[in-house]
Structure formats: structure tokens, C-alpha cells
Structure 1
Amino acid sequence: MTTVEGRVVPPPRRLGPWPAFSLQASVVVFFLAGASAPTPLYATYQQEWLFSPITTTVIFGVYAVAVLLALLVVGSLSDHVGRKPVIFGSIVVQAAAVVGFAGADGVPALLCARILQGLATGTVVGAVGAGMIDIRRSAGTLANAVTPAAGTAVGALGSGLLVAYAPQPTHLVYHILLGIYVLQAVGVVFMAETAARAPGALRSLRVTWTVPAQARGPLLRVAPVVLAVWALAGFYGSLGPALVRRVVTGEGALLGGLALFTLTACGALTVLVLRSAEPRTTTRVGTVALIAGVSLTLLAVAVGSAGLFFVGTAVAGVGFGAGFQGGVRTVVPLAEPHQRSGLLSVLYLISYLGFGLPTVVAGVIVVYGGGVASAAYEYGTAVMLLALLALISTFGPSRASTPATPEAVSGRAPGTGDAAVDGCADACHVGGLPGHGPPSKVSTLAHKGDEHR
């Protein structure tokens, strides 16, 4: 309470832990929905402005480059200035991006909007990911794995439906997203801060790789599958509609969005189904499903089978979800509270490296190497090789390490952790991950979130 001119003024109302958690999860969902929303529109833009598939992949790829730049420069900023200002500022930039999309009159405008969108997303993912873990570690770890896939699915299908059946397709989807971002910005104002301010904010803007020593080995082992699953998602997000039109007859925009939706929705469901599995088991499921799904999809392209194409895409989606979840659950629990945002940023850095840059190569293959089918065969082969490398690494011997107790990984006092958190910690231990450190010194603000669990 404060007193102003003799009157007692109550403190401002703040969102409770779970509303704040849900709000932050929705930020990731709709940021990723905004990133996939242009996918069904690329054919419309291409017909209107007469550009090549290479230009399509460049428009798609600059987003990934912008995400990478933001992750490298400001990925750890919220560990120093707090989660709220970083999240709020990112939403403002994201809103400016969708305004740019809605008013775009050519390729340069699309490129500018995609760059803004990438900068906003790269800035927000580390802050939101760490913010959710601040509130509840087990649910936050799960949300960090499921929300990117869920958001990509929502954006692809929603945009496809609007393009196919709603008026002004190149404007309406962005107007809807703008309204959502405004509401989210208002919600962030009423969130309680969960990270204490710490010195070194300017120093954190230097380009560094902030991977805790205890997480480096596990991160190297999961990097191939994380690259593979997001490279596959990048292909579906940029050239997926063109590939679908080669196999399926029907509404091109809707089917292109449906293909990306199938991939990412199956991925999100897989995360939920496998949330209690050991990280190593989850990674194995992901790599095997990815190899099988891509093989079926390429076979469908060869024989022209629409049904087999979507079956293969669904199986690959299982690999997408399990592979990414295995990566998240392998490395995130190893970070101490002050290391979370930076580590999550590196994980997303790997993801977006695979998400954007290979698609430009695929665009070149489409134009100069024999068309979209040839690009799909070569791209799919590379994805399967990465998945195979990751699968082999899960059978390798682990280096000796000091085993972590559930409390050490979760940051809780002994006897106070819930089953989900302890299960995650046990899964990390059973998986033989090296480098578990001493118990985390969880901040006072993070413990305040525990009181509401």
C-alpha cells in the first residue's frame, strides 16, 4: 500500500502465476503463428508480383537470419533487465511487423516485415521461455517444447482457411494478429516480474555463446536432430505449398497450409503424449519417426499419392515433436536460473539455423536443379542423414558425471518437488546425461512463483 495526499492507494492488481504463465505461452504461440501465416500466401504474392521460388525462400530465410541475429545479441538480455520489458518491447516490434505485412506492396516491403518479425521473435523466445520456467519449471519445460509447434500449426491452418474462404486474404490475417498482439501487450503490463535485475545488461549484448559447461555435451548430441526437424519445418513453410500442388489437386493455399499444419500439429500432440518419457527415449522416437516419415513423403511425391503424402507428413510430424522435445528436455533442466534465457536462446539459435538457411538452397535447386520434386528428394535425404546421426549418438556411451538429484535439477528443496519436475530430473539422470552441477540457487522471485504451485 502507498499513501497519496492522505489517501491509501492499493497496489496495482497483478496477474496470478497461472494467468501469467498462460499469457507468456500464448505469446510464443502467436509469434510463431505470425511467422507461419505468410506460408499459404506465398503463391498469391508470387502471382501478383511475379517473383521466382528463390525469392520465396529468401523472403522466408531472412526471417531466420533476423531471428539468429536477435538471439545472438539480445538472447540473454532478460536475465539482466527482467522478463517484462523484453517481452513488451518484442510485442511492439511484432505488431509493427504485421502492420508492414498488411500494407506490403512488393517484395521489399515483405522483406522488411519479415526482418522485423524475426528480430521480435528472436528477442522474445528466450525471455518468455525463461519466464515460464520461473513460474513452474516442469510446465515451463513442456511449454517450451510444445508452443513453437502449436503456434506454427495454428498460423498455417488459420491463414490457409482465411486465404481460401475469407475476403482480403493478404490483409485480414494480419489484422487479426495485430489485435491479438495489442491484447497481449496489455496483459504483459499486469504481469508480475519473475526475474531480479542483474548488472551486465550492456555486456550481455556482445555476441557470445552462453551454454553452461554442464549442458555442452548434451547439446552437441541433440543438435543434429534439432537441426533436422526445423529444416523439415522450414521446407514445408516455404516450398510446402508448391510441393503439395504437385501431388494434390484442390485449393492450393489451403492445402499448403494444411500440410504445414499436419506436420506441426502432430508434433505438438507428440510432445504431450511423450512428456513423461525419458529424454533419450524421446529423441530415439523422434529420429526414427523422422526418417520413416520423410521416406513415406518422398515416396508419395514419386508415385503421386495424396493420401500417402499426408500420412508421411503426419509421421514426420511425430519426429518433429519428439525430436525437438527430446532436445529441450535434455538440455534445459541442466541450466541454473540465471543461465536459462541464454541457453534457451542457443537452442532456438540451432533451430532457426536449420529453419531458414537450408530453404534458400532448396529454392536454388527448384530453379536450377530440376524443380520442386528434385529439391524435395535432396533436402529430404539431408534431413534423414541428420536424424540418423542423432539416432546413433543416443546409443553412444555417456561420460562419467556426478548424478543430479531431482532437487538439484528442479531447484527445489528436498521433499517439495512435484512429480512432474522430479520425473523430468529422473529422466535426465536415467538418460545418462553428463555434467549435472550442484543445486541451483533459485532467485527469490522464482521461489515466489513456487508458492502458488
Structure 2
Amino acid sequence: MSSSPAVAVAARPRARLPHPVAFTAVAVIFVLFMAASSVPSPLYVVYQQEWGFSSMTLTVIFAVYVLGLIASLLVVGALSDHVGRRPVLAAAIVGEAVSLVLFLVAGDVSALFAARVVQGVATGAAMSVLGATLVDLNPPHAPGRAGVFSSVAPTSGLALGALGCGALVQFAPAPTHLVYALLLAGMVVALLLTAGLPETSARRPGALASLTPRLGVPARLRPDLFALVPILVSSWALGGLYLSLGPSVAAGLFGMSNHLVGGLVVTLLCGTGALTSLVLRTAPVGAVLQAGAALLAIGMGITLAGVLADILALAAAGTVVSGVGFGASALASFGTLARLAAPAERGELFAVVYVVAYLAFSIPAVIAGFAAASAGLRPTAIVYGFAVGGLAVLAVIVQSVRAARR
């Protein structure tokens, strides 16, 4: 009889966070992951000064992160639909912590490569499960909230990570160590939060089969996804340029050597995007998509004018306008898919979307890095800007035709 209370305690289910609190916790973890992914951007200039590598090497370091991320999305993107959200998220957090330790001890370019690969794998594993979990926990009275947070979390995380790192590099000691130590502490907190999350995806057979790399989208969702491809490519290609070469462009073309300014370059785009997503969260999706594409094109044109005329204020103004388009595009894209996907489709669908986004994020940026090494930053930035603007115009046309058909 004396053992009954102990048995009762052991049998009692572990307390879980209420769904509203869990939703907020998942959003915070999402922001933390994206902040960690953008932290190296302001540090690239520091690493270049310390280790003496070229812009081409810089973009390759950027690319291996994205390759790891895409490979992770392809392999484990649908895994949480089979084994549950919490185990996949916990594993991703542990992987991210390992990458941060590698950054802390990095002493040369090869160590930086290793850290970025591990970080890419961990971030890829996290992104699809975080997006799916937000949809799972979405409150019934606010059906669009998950879509809003799926767009706000990446952009706000990128902005906060770049700006915070730039400030630490400029004003704090140990610029290549302190920021990673802080992020590592954040990952410990994230792991504790994950332990308290309710499981939102029932286990089902097929976990091993889901690890086979594939890109699959249910037939009923393909028209909606295909219509989003031009705006996904144009907006994320713009983000890739800013995160890989943005600080170098600020330093090389406009003579801005302050590391805080290097972080601010990324923040102007991504922070404006996050704010835009919040402001437009209740606007009609179709109108937001068209407006986002148009503002991407207009903003890119203004930025190009600033680069051509060597007017920093004009280039900054164009970045802000592009940021509005970036945020509107992300909001409408993820909002559309969050409403359409069934629970068992969400992990795989978000994996596909992020693969498309990060291919656009990385491949043009790598090409730009090689071009900058041979042709220079200015012509590279100009050609890249025209390409992004052209894709944004194509996105406007696609959305206009789709709206007319409806």
C-alpha cells in the first residue's frame, strides 16, 4: 500500500505547456534558430581580416551552410509527420548547439566550413518541423496566425541576429566568441522548452521510408505552390545577396567599415520585412502577394539607383522598400500554404517550400561571390539587382493572371 502514491506519481502524465504558451515558445525557438543562422554575416568581414580569404571563399562558406540545410530538409523534412514533432525538434536543437561549439573553437577556414555545415543540417531539420508545429498549434479563433508567424519568425530572426552580432562585434570583447556563447545558452533554454511542448503529430508508419530524399507535393496543392515560385525565388534571392555579400558591399562600395553598419544592412531588409508581415497580417492574401512582388521590383530599382549614383541614403531607402516587399511576399506565401495543407502534409510541404526558398537564397549568391571576385562588387550588385527585379515583375504577372482566372 505504501508504494501506491509513488506508482500514481510515476503513472501521471508529464505536464505540458498550454497550447497558447507552446505556440509562443515554438515561435521564439524559430526566431532563435534564424538569428543563429544570420550571426556569421557581420563576422565574415572579421574572419576575412583575420584569416585572409577572398569573397569567393566567403560565398562558398555561405553555400555549404545552405547545402547542409537543403540536404536536411530533403532527408528529414517529413520525418516529424511520422515520429512526432518534439523528437525531431530536440535533435535539431542539439545539432545547433554542436555547431555553436564548433564556431567557438574555430581557428581557421576549415573549422568555419565544418561549423556552417552542421548548422545548416540542424537548421534544415528545425525549419520544417517548426513551421508544421506552428500550424498544429494555431488557435481556432485566429486561423491565419501560424502563417503570420511562419513569415515573421525567419525575417525577424535574421534581422535580430545580424544586428545583435554587429553590435557585439563593434562594441563588445571577443567578437568571434561572445555571440556564440550567448546563442549556446539560448539553445539550452530552447531544449528545456521543447521538453514541455505538447506532441501535436500522431505517430504513424513510414518513418524510415520518409528519410528517402524526395520532393513531393499533393496534386491538389501544386497549382498554388507553382504560382508562388517566382515570388519565392525573387524574394529569397534578394535575401541571399544581403546575408552573404551585404556587409562587404557596404564596406567596399560605400566605405562603411563599422561592423554595426554591416549588421544593419541585413536588418534594414529583414527587420522591415518582419514589421511588414505583422502590419499586413489581416490583409487579403492575393492583394498582399501582388503588392509584395511590385514592391520588390520598385525597391530593387531604387537600390540600384543608389549604387549607380554612389548615394548611400538612396540605396538604404531602396533596401527598406524591398524589405516591405520581402515581408509581404513571405507573409502571403506561407499564409497561403498554411491554410491549404492538411496535418499529415505539413512537414513535407514546408520542406519543399524551404528547399525552393533556400536554393534561391544560395545559388545566385554563390554565383555573385564568384563574379565579385573576378568582375568586382559594383557590376555584380547591379546585374544581381536587375535579375531580382525581373523575377519580381514576373511574379506580379503570374499573380495577376491567377487572380483574373479566379
Note whether the superposition's TM-score is higher than 0.5. Answer: yes
- Residue pairs, 1:338-353, within 5 angstroms: 338-353=344-359
Structure with bigger helix share is 2
| Residues 1:155 and 2:157 are matched in the alignment | no
> Where does residue 328 of structure 1 map in the other structure?
334
Alignment equivalent of 2:40, drawn from 21, 38, 41: 38
Q: Output the CA distance in 2 between the equivalents of 1:339 and 1:117.
A: 26
Give the Å deviation of 1:283: 1.1
- Indicate if the aligned counterparts of 2:240 and 2:365 stay in contact, CA closer than 8 A: yes
Q: Output the CA distance in 2 between the equivalents of 1:4 and 1:60.
A: 61
Q: Output the CA distance in 1 between the equivalents of 2:391 and 2:211.
A: 32
Alignment equivalent of 1:51, drawn from 44, 50, 53: 53
Q: Output the CA distance in 1 between the equivalents of 2:272 and 2:217.
A: 30
> Where does residue 378 of structure 2 map in the other structure?
373
Letter in 2 for 1:132: L
Q: Output the CA distance in 1 between the equivalents of 2:400 and 2:198.
A: 43
- Residue pairs, 1:50-449, within 5 angstroms: 50-136=52-138, 137-369=143-375, 371-397=376-402, 432=406
Letter in 2 for 1:6: S
- Indicate if the aligned counterparts of 1:223 and 1:327 stay in contact, CA closer than 8 A: no
Give the Å deviation of 1:251: 4.0
Note the aligned Cα RMSD (angstroms): 1.5
Using CA pairs below 8 Å that are at least 6 residues apart, which structure has the higher relative contact order?
2
Letter in 1 for 2:347: S
- Indicate if the aligned counterparts of 1:247 and 1:306 stay in contact, CA closer than 8 A: no
Name the SS for the 1:207 alignment partner. Answer: coil
More divergent stretch after superposition (14-23 vs 247-256): 247-256
> Where does residue 3 of structure 2 map in the other structure?
5
Identity %: 41
Q: Output the CA distance in 1 between the equivalents of 2:23 and 2:87.
A: 16
Name the SS for the 2:401 alignment partner. Answer: coil
Letter in 1 for 2:389: M
Q: For this pair of structures, how many residues does the alignment match?
A: 398
Give the Å deviation of 1:64: 1.0
Give the Å deviation of 1:250: 4.2
Name the SS for the 2:400 alignment partner. Answer: coil
Give the Å deviation of 1:210: 2.3
Name the SS for the 1:196 alignment partner. Answer: coil
- Indicate if the aligned counterparts of 2:243 and 2:266 stay in contact, CA closer than 8 A: yes
Name the SS for the 1:169 alignment partner. Answer: coil
Q: Output the CA distance in 1 between the equivalents of 2:65 and 2:121.
A: 8
Q: Output the CA distance in 1 between the equivalents of 2:249 and 2:306.
A: 11
Q: Output the CA distance in 1 between the equivalents of 2:257 and 2:294.
A: 32
Q: Output the CA distance in 2 between the equivalents of 1:19 and 1:87.
A: 17
- Indicate if the aligned counterparts of 2:135 and 2:338 stay in contact, CA closer than 8 A: no
Letter in 1 for 2:144: S
Q: Which runs of 4+ in 1 moved over 4 A?
A: 397-400
With structure 2 as the length reference, what TM-score do the two structures score? 0.95
- Indicate if the aligned counterparts of 1:296 and 1:308 stay in contact, CA closer than 8 A: yes
Letter in 2 for 1:324: A
Give the Å deviation of 1:249: 4.1
Q: From the superposition, tell whether residues 112 and 249 of structure 1 become closer, same or farther in structure 2 (CA, over 3 Å).
A: same
> Where does residue 442 of structure 1 map in the other structure?
none
- Indicate if the aligned counterparts of 2:250 and 2:256 stay in contact, CA closer than 8 A: no
Runs of at least 5 residues in structure 2 that lack an aligned partner in the other structure:
none
Q: From the superposition, tell whether residues 188 and 397 of structure 1 become closer, same or farther in structure 2 (CA, over 3 Å).
A: closer
Name the SS for the 2:144 alignment partner. Answer: helix
- CA offsets per residue over residues 58-87 of structure 1, 9 Å max, x none? 001111111111111110000000000000
Give the Å deviation of 1:139: 1.7
Q: Output the CA distance in 1 between the equivalents of 2:198 and 2:280.
A: 31
- Indicate if the aligned counterparts of 2:100 and 2:183 stay in contact, CA closer than 8 A: yes
Q: From the superposition, tell whether residues 217 and 4 of structure 1 become closer, same or farther in structure 2 (CA, over 3 Å).
A: farther
Name the SS for the 1:170 alignment partner. Answer: coil
Q: From the superposition, tell whether residues 50 and 281 of structure 1 become closer, same or farther in structure 2 (CA, over 3 Å).
A: same
Q: Output the CA distance in 2 between the equivalents of 1:378 and 1:250.
A: 22
Q: Output the CA distance in 2 between the equivalents of 1:230 and 1:286.
A: 13
Q: Output the CA distance in 1 between the equivalents of 2:399 and 2:16.
A: 44
Q: Output the CA distance in 2 between the equivalents of 1:286 and 1:253.
A: 30
Give the Å deviation of 1:4: 8.7
Give the Å deviation of 1:18: 1.5
Q: From the superposition, tell whether residues 359 and 397 of structure 1 become closer, same or farther in structure 2 (CA, over 3 Å).
A: closer
Q: Output the CA distance in 2 between the equivalents of 1:102 and 1:118.
A: 16
Letter in 1 for 2:160: V
Letter in 2 for 1:344: F
Letter in 2 for 1:101: F
Q: Output the CA distance in 2 between the equivalents of 1:321 and 1:78.
A: 27
- Indicate if the aligned counterparts of 2:290 and 2:400 stay in contact, CA closer than 8 A: no
More divergent stretch after superposition (41-50 vs 135-144): 135-144
Q: Output the CA distance in 2 between the equivalents of 1:289 and 1:379.
A: 17
Give the Å deviation of 1:124: 1.0
> Where does residue 409 of structure 1 map in the other structure?
none
